[in-house]
Structure 1
Amino acid sequence: MGIQNRKILASILFVLISFVCNAQVDGTPPPPIPPPPPGLPIDGGIAFLVAIGLFYGIKKKIK
């Protein structure tokens, strides 16, 4: 193998290695997810609890 062939092979390997190094994934982690909004929404669960409370109160009042 001549000097010319070694130079060509070395050049090709250098170019290929530089492509591989450039294609590596960035080491930075993804940004953190934002925190959930404060407080909870008032749903139909409150109406259900009020209805049960009224039923219980009426039942106790009758007895």
Structure 2
Amino acid sequence: MIIQNKRIFASILFVLISFVCAAAQAGGSTPPPPMTPPPGLQLPIDGGLLVATCVGLFYGAKKLLFNKN
């Protein structure tokens, strides 16, 4: 087989596999889980988000400024 035929075959195979995966997830006999978790299990994600962003910006700036190579 030439390379072009292999690429076409691989593309068709990936498309068919994605259809099979989507079909397996489409149906189901179990009801969907509730949308909101119980009140005791909610965790905020905004507490450390600002700190992590600032640390990342400072680290990136340091790498850009002090990269002598």
TM-score range, shorter chain: 0.3 to 0.5
Larger of the two Rg values belongs to structure = 1
